[in-house]
Amino acid sequence: MIHNRQQRSSMFTGLLLILLGVIFLLDRFDPSLGIGRLIRLYWPGLLILWGLAKLIDHLAARRTGQDRAPILSGSEAALLILLAVILSAFTFRDWIRVHYPNLDVELPPFHQTYSRSEDLAPRTISAGARVSIETARGDITVDGEEGNDLRVSVTKSAPASTDAAAGERMKDVTVVIEPVGDGYRIYPARQDDFRGRVSVGLEVHLPKTASVVAHTASGNIAATGIAGNMDVRAEHGDVVIHDAGADVTAALQRGDARILGVAGNVGLTGQGDDVEIADVAGDATVDGAFIGSIRVRNVAKTTRYTLRYGLRRLPWSEVSVTHLTGRLELDAGDLALSGVTGAAKVVTHNKDIDVENVAGRLDIANVHGDIKVAFATPPRADVNITNDAGAVDLTLPAESSFDVSAVSRSGAVESDFGDRSLTTANEGDTERFHGHFGAKLGAPAITIATSYGTIHLRKPR
Q: What is the CA radius of gyration of the chain?
A: 33
Q: Determine contact, residues 357/378, Cβ cutoff 8 Å.
A: no
Q: Determine contact, residues 119/152, Cβ cutoff 8 Å.
A: yes
CA distance 291 to 97: 24
CA distance 353 to 359: 17
Phi, psi dihedral angles at 104 (to 5 degrees):
-95, 110
CA dihedral 253, 257, 259, 265 (to 10 degrees): 30
Element (H, E) at 336: strand 334-340
Question: Is residue 165 helix, strand or coil?
Answer: helix
Type of residue found at 160 = A
Distance from the first to the final alpha carbon of the chain: 105
Question: Is residue 190 helix, strand or coil?
Answer: coil
Element (H, E) at 224: strand 221-224
| Sequence-separated (6 or more) residues with CB below 8 Å from residue 4 | none
Going by C-alpha positions, the residue among 159, 139, 43 that lies closest to residue 97 is: 159
Residue 31: the pLDDT is 55
Going by C-alpha positions, the residue among 234, 299, 310, 223 that lies closest to residue 270 is: 234
CA distance 130 to 128: 7
Cα 257 versus chain centre, distance: 8
Q: Determine contact, residues 206/152, Cβ cutoff 8 Å.
A: no
Going by C-alpha positions, the residue among 227, 207, 210, 246 that lies closest to residue 128 is: 210
Going by C-alpha positions, the residue among 325, 365, 330 that lies closest to residue 349 is: 365
| Sequence-separated (6 or more) residues with CB below 8 Å from residue 109 | none
Residue 67: the pLDDT is 60
Residue 107: the pLDDT is 42
Residue 441: the pLDDT is 76
Q: Determine contact, residues 97/105, Cβ cutoff 8 Å.
A: yes
Going by C-alpha positions, the residue among 142, 364, 106 that lies closest to residue 244 is: 142
Cα 268 versus chain centre, distance: 11
Residue 13: the pLDDT is 67
CA distance 4 to 9: 15
Going by C-alpha positions, the residue among 213, 188, 210, 92 that lies closest to residue 138 is: 188
Question: Is residue 168 helix, strand or coil?
Answer: helix
Residue 275: the pLDDT is 97
Strand pairing class (423-427; 383-388): unpaired
Could you give the angle at the alpha carbon of 9 between the alpha carbons of 5 and 15, nearest 5°?
Answer: 165
Q: Determine contact, residues 407/427, Cβ cutoff 8 Å.
A: no
Strand partners, 100: none
Peptide bond into 179 cis (omega under 30): no
Q: Determine contact, residues 279/260, Cβ cutoff 8 Å.
A: yes
- How does pLDDT run along the chain (461 residues), one tens digit per residue? 444 555 556 666 677 677 777 777 766 555 555 666 666 666 677 777 767 776 776 677 667 666 665 666 666 677 677 777 777 776 776 666 555 554 444 444 445 788 999 999 999 999 899 999 999 999 999 999 999 999 999 999 988 777 888 888 888 899 999 999 889 999 999 888 656 678 999 999 999 999 999 999 999 999 999 999 999 999 999 999 999 999 999 999 989 999 999 999 999 999 999 999 999 999 999 999 998 999 999 999 999 999 886 545 556 789 999 999 999 999 988 999 999 999 999 999 999 999 999 999 999 999 999 999 999 999 999 999 999 999 999 999 999 999 999 999 999 999 999 877 888 888 888 999 999 998 777 799 999 999 999 999 999 98
Going by C-alpha positions, the residue among 66, 70, 43, 77 that lies closest to residue 54 is: 70
Going by C-alpha positions, the residue among 340, 453, 349, 452 that lies closest to residue 394 is: 453
Going by C-alpha positions, the residue among 46, 111, 31 that lies closest to residue 80 is: 46
Strand pairing class (196-197; 211-216): unpaired
Burial 323-353 (b: 16+ CB within 10 A, else e): bbebbbbbeeeebbbbbbebbbbbbbeebbb
Q: How many CB atoms lie within 10 A of CB 383?
A: 22
Residue 93: the pLDDT is 66
DSSP string across 361-390: -EEEEEESS-EEEE-SS---S-EEEEEESS
